[in-house]
Amino acid sequence: MARMAFFPDSCVVAEVVPSPNYGERKDGRSPDMILLHYTGMQDADAALERLTSRSSEVSAHYFVFEDGRIVQLVEESRRAWHAGVSSWAGETDINSCSIGIEIVNPGHEFGYRDFPARQVAAVTALCRSILTRYTIAPARVLGHSDVAPSRKQDPGEKFPWRALYDSGVGHWVRPAPLTLDGNVLALGDQGDAVAEIQRSLADYGYGIAPSGTFDTTTHDVVAAFQRHFRPQRVDGIIDASTRKTLDDLLTHRGRARNIAARARTFDRVAAP
C-alpha cells in the first residue's frame, strides 16, 4: 500500500505523517470507540517512526506530542492497527470500531511521568473534535489497558481521566475513598462474591467470565479497572473502594442511558 498524503480529519491536527499500516474497517463500520494509548518509548521521534514504518505493522490514527502538537497518521475512515489482541463488551475486533490516539509518554518501563497540561488539553480537544463526527458513548472512551488488561498498562494511572470528563469526554465518577470498610477479595478466593464482581466488570464491558474463581485474569482486569477509575491504589485486589466505584459507574451509566432513551423518544414524538 503506497504512502500518500491525505487531508486531516480535524482542524486541531498540525501535520499529516501518513502510516502505511492500516486496512478497511470490517463491514464499513463507523467508529464508536476512542482508545487512548501511551507510546511507551524513551523518545517521541522514535515512537513516531515506529508507527509509520511498514515493518512495525503498528499504527494509530493520531499522535500527540508532549507540547500538544497533534499529528494524524491514518484517516479516521480506515482501520489503524493499534489495539492488538483485545476485547470490549464481547467484541474482539477493536481496531474496526475504534479511533486510536497515541500519547507521548515513556510509560512504566522507561520512567512513567505525569502528562503535561498542554498535552492533556490537546488530547481533550482532539477527542471533542472526534465526538462531533461520530456517536460515541461516554463509556466507550477507553484506555488500551481496559481492552487488553493482561497485556497493557497504558495510558496508566497517571492519565487524568477526570480532566477529560470535566470537558465532556468519557465516563467517570469520583472514586470511593480507600478508607471504606468491607470484605477484600484477592487471588485464590472463590465463591459467589467473586462471581458477582466478575459479572459487574463484564457488564461494564471488560473481557471476563463469571467463573467464581479469582484467577490471574480477574486480577489483571481489576488492576486495569483501578488504573482508569480508582488510580489511588492499583493492586488488583477487590476492596470496598473498588467495589463501590464500580457500582457507582454502573448506576451512573444506567441513568445516562435512560435519559438518552427518553430524549430520543421525545424527539420522535415531537417530530412533525
Catalytic residues: 102
Residues contacting residue 108 through CB under 8 Å, at least 6 positions apart: 40, 153, 156
Q: What gap in Å lies between CA 128 and CA 163, rounded to an integer?
A: 13
Alpha helices in the chain (DSSP H): 44-51, 94-97, 117-131, 144-147, 161-166, 192-204, 216-229, 240-270
Residue 175 near residue 249 (C-beta atoms within 8 A): no
Helices 216-229 and 240-270 cross at an angle (nearest 10°) of 70
Q: Minimal CA–CA distance to 142: which of 129, 120, 159?
A: 159
Cis-peptide, bond into residue 155, ω within 30° of zero: yes
The strand pair at 141-143 and 62-64 is best described as unpaired
Cell numbers representing residue 56 in the block: 512495525
Residue found by looking up cell 466507550 in the block: 140
Q: Torsion over CA of 226, 62, 30 and 136, rounded to 10 degrees?
A: 40
